[in-house]
A = this chain, B = another copy of it.
Amino acid sequence: MTRVVVDVMPKPEILDPQGKAVTGSLQRLGYQGLTVRQGKRFEITVEGELTDERIDQIRDAAEKLLANTVIESFDVRVEES
Contact = CB atoms under 8 A, between A and B. Distances in A.
A24 to B, nearest CB: 11
- Please give the count of copies of this chain that the complex contains: 2
Interface residues of A, number: 32
Given A29-B61, A29-B65, A61-B29, A34 B45 contact: yes
A68 interface: no
A22 B46 CA distance: 14
Contact of A38 (B25, B33, B40, B45): B40
Interface string A51-81: 0000001100100111000000000000000
A43 B36 contact: yes
Interface of A: 7-9, 19, 22, 25-26, 29, 31-48, 57-58, 61, 64-66
